[in-house]
Chains A and B, each alone.
Chain A
Amino acid sequence: MKPDGVSGVKPEPLTNPWLSGLLIGIVGLYIALLLGIPVVNIFYQAFREGIPAFLHRLTERELLSALRLTVLTALVVVPLNTFFGLCAALAIAHRRFPGRALLLSLIDLPFSISPVVAGLMLVLIFGRQGWLGSWNLRVIFAFPGIVLATAFITLPFVAREVLPVLEEAGTDQEEAAKTLGATPWQIFWRITLPNIRWGLLYGVILTNARAMGEFGAVAVVSGNIIGRTQTLPLFVEDAYRSYATASAYAAAVVLSLLAVVTLVAKEVMERGSHSRRVF
C-alpha cells in the first residue's frame, strides 16, 4: 500500500543540462549583484581598518544606545504583534463574522502604505498639532512613538504567515480533539499551536527582522535624537551623512549580523524538526 498523502512528490530533475545551467546562472548572477556584492562590501569596509578599530567603533556610546533602542523596540513589538497576529489569524480562519473580509484587507494595509505615510499618520494623531496633541502624551519623539510605528509596519507578518497554515489544516483536527474530550484551551495548546508552529515562527522572524530594520516610519516619529530616540537604522544613515562612514559600516554589520542570527535560529529549529520526523 502506498501513502496517498501529499508527501513524497519530488519534481523531476531537469534533463537538459544547458537549460538547468542557464537557469542557475541567471539566479546566481542576480543574487550576487543584488545581495552578495553589497553584503561582502559592507563587511569589507567595516573591517578595513582592522578588527580593533571595528571593535572601537562598536563601543561608541551613540551606536550602543541605538542598538539598545532597536533591541528594546523589537522586544516590545514582536510579542505584541505575535499575539495580535495569532488572534487575527484564528478569528479569520475559524470563525464567520460580519466584517471578516474587511479585517483581512485591513491587516494587509501596512503592506500597501508607504512607511513614511504611516509615520506621518501617527504624527497627525499624537503630534503637538495632532488630534490628541492637547493631551500632551509623550508619544512622538519618544519610545512609544517608535513602538507604535514599528508595530504598525510589522502588523501583517504573523497573521499572513499563520493564516494559510490554519486554512490548509482545516478544523478537522480541532473537532477530533473536541470529540475526545479536550477543552478549547487544551485544543489550542496541544493541537492548533503545534500545527501552526512553523508558520508562526516564520512570521515572528519576519516581524523581528522588519522591526529591527524599519527606517521610514521610525524616522518620521522618532525625531532622530542622538542617544535618545535614534534606532540602529537611523544611526547608520546619520553616520553616513556626517561622513563617519566607518561607524556607518560598523553599525550596518551589526544590523546584518542580527538578521543572520535570526535566520540561523530558524534554520536550526527547522533542522531539529526534520531529524525528528519525515515530511
Chain B
Amino acid sequence: MGITIEGVSKRFGEFQALHPTDLTIPTGSLVALLGPSGSGKSTLLRLIAGLEKPDTGRIFLTGRDATHASVQERNIGFVFQHYALFKHMTVRQNIAFGLEIRKASRAEIQARVDELLELVQLSGFGDRYPSQLSGGQRQRVALARALAVEPQVLLLDEPFGALDAKVRKELRKWLRRLHDEVHVTTVFVTHDQEEAMEVADQIVVMNQGRIEQVGSPAEIYDHPATPFVMSFIGPVNELSPRSQLSCQLPEVQTGPHQLFLRPHDVQIEVNPGSSGVSARVKEIIHLGREIQAELVLSDGGSLWAHLSREQYANQPLQVGQQVYVRPKVVKAFPVKKNDKKTEMTRVPVGA
C-alpha cells in the first residue's frame, strides 16, 4: 500500500487541471506520470505532496489518510525541476536542512550527510555552494536533500527537464540504480516518453487532466488503450479510413475507426510485381540508428517509414523512386459518436 488516490480532482479557476482520478501506486515501485504539458501530471504530483489541496477525493500515503495532512506532516521527499536548492547554503547544509528541522543530533547529521554525499557521488563537494555546481550535480544534491529525511515517498517533478541530453541520460540510469538500492516508493513526472520507458516499472499516461492508461512500458507500447496513448508513445502514422492502405482492413468495414501505423511497421518493396500500394519516396533522413523515409502515396497521402540500417543497406532507396508499401500491423480504435476525446487526440501524420 504505497500511495492510493480516490476520486481526487483539482480546478484552477476555470481550468480543470485534474478530473476525478483513482490511482494506486504499490510500495517500493518506480512510477512515471507521463503526458504533455497541461495533462495534469504535475498537479497530481503536487496533490500527493500536499503542495496543492484537492477539491474532491482522498489521498492515502502508506495506508494512512493524508488528505488533510500538511506538507510538513506527510514525510515526503520532493525534487523540483529547477532543483530549488537553498542558494545561501553549502551542499552539506542543504542536505542537512531536513535533519536539523527534525532536531537530529550533530553526530547523526554529520554521519547521514556523509553517507548521502557518497550515495550521490559528491563526496568532495560538501563545502561548495549550489552556484559552483553543474546542473546534473545540483539535481543530485536536491535528491540527496530529499532522501536525507528518509521519506516514505519520493516525488520528482520533471527532475531532468532542465538538463542537457547527455547528462539527462546519465542521471536516468543513475536514478534507476538508486531506486534499486534505496527501494523508496518513487513517482516522477516527465513529458519524455523515452525517459518514462527507460526508468519506470509502471507508466501512468495522462492527457487533459485524465489518466489514459496505466501499465508497464511494454504494455503501454504494445497494447495502447487509447488513440492518445498510441500516438503519444513512439512515432505513428495516422491513416485516413479512405486511404488505399486501410480500405481493405476488416475493421474499417464494421464502422468508423481511428487507424495508426507505426513507421517501423511499414514494409517497403521495390519490385513492381509486389502487391503493395504504390508510393513515391519524397525524402530520406538519416536518424543515426535508423533511416526515416517520407513516402507519398498515389492517392496523395503521406507516410513515414523507419528502416533499420541493415534493411536500408540491403535495399537502398532514392528520392523520387517508385516503391510499394504494405502495412505490417495497423492498430484500429473504434470512434464512439460524440466522443470529443478521441477527436481531440488526432495528431498529424509523422508526429
Contact = CB atoms under 8 A, between A and B. Distances in A.
To the question of whether A and B form a pair in one complex, the answer is yes
Contacts of B76: 179
A177 B97 contact: yes
Contacts of B335: none
B87 interface: yes
B242 interface: no
A13 interface: no
Interface string B156-176: 000000111001000000000
A7 B80 contact: no
A223 to B, nearest CB: 47
B78 interface: yes
A179 B82 CA distance: 15
B101 interface: yes
B98 interface: yes
Contact of A178 (B51, B146, B167): B51
A195 interface: yes
Nearest to A193: B88
B35 interface: no
Contacts of B84: 172-173, 175-176
Given A179-B76, A181-B72, A1 B49 contact: no
Contact of A176 (B75, B78, B102, B148): B78
B87 A173 contact: yes
A1 B134 contact: yes
Interface in A195-219: 195
Nearest to A4: B135
B14 to A, nearest CB: 15
A7 to B, nearest CB: 5
Contact of A179 (B49, B129, B167): B49
Interface string B105-143: 000000000000000000000000101111111000010
Nearest to A174: B84
B270 interface: no
A247 B180 CA distance: 80
A194 B80 CA distance: 20
A107 interface: no
A275 B164 CA distance: 31
A5 B97 contact: no
Nearest to B46: A175
Given A1-B167, A3-B134, A172 B101 contact: no
A186 B149 CA distance: 17
Which of B75, B78, B101, B136: most chain A Cβ within 10 A?
A: B101
A178 B84 CA distance: 12
A194 B85 CA distance: 13
B312 interface: no
B80 A176 contact: yes
A176 B149 contact: no
Interface in A44-84: none
Contacts of B82: 172
Contact of B77 (A178, A179, A191): A179
B131 A278 contact: yes
Given A172-B82, A186-B101, A5 B131 contact: yes
B225 interface: no
A3 B133 contact: yes
A194 B88 contact: yes
A186 B100 CA distance: 11
Contacts of B85: 173, 176
Interface residues of A, number: 26
Interface string A141-185: 000000000000000000000000000010011011111111100
A179 B146 contact: yes
B76 to A, nearest CB: 6
Contacts of B72: 178-179, 181-183
B197 interface: no
B128 to A, nearest CB: 9
Nearest to A186: B101
Contacts of B80: 172, 175-176
Interface in B61-105: 71-72, 75-78, 80, 82, 84-88, 97-98, 101-102
B167 A191 contact: no
Contacts of A5: 131
Contact of B132 (A3, A191, A195): A3
Contact of B131 (A179, A182, A191, A279): A279
B280 interface: no
A195 B82 CA distance: 16
Contacts of B145: 176, 180
A194 B142 CA distance: 19
Contacts of A191: 86
A179 B78 contact: yes
Contacts of B137: 1
Contacts of A278: 129, 131-132
Contacts of A175: 51, 71, 78, 80, 84
Contacts of B146: 179-180
A176 B149 CA distance: 13
A271 interface: no
Contacts of A177: 86, 97
A10 interface: no
A274 interface: no
A241 interface: no
Interface string B303-333: 0000000000000000000000000000000
Q: Which 6 interchain pairs have the tightest Cβ spacing?
A: A172-B84, A180-B98, A1-B134, A179-B78, A176-B84, A194-B88
Given A175-B71, A179-B71, A182-B97, 10 more contacts: A4-B162, A173-B84, A176-B78, A178-B51, A178-B72, A180-B98, A180-B101, A180-B149, A181-B149, A279-B131
5 contacts: A173-B85, A179-B77, A180-B149, A194-B88, A278-B129
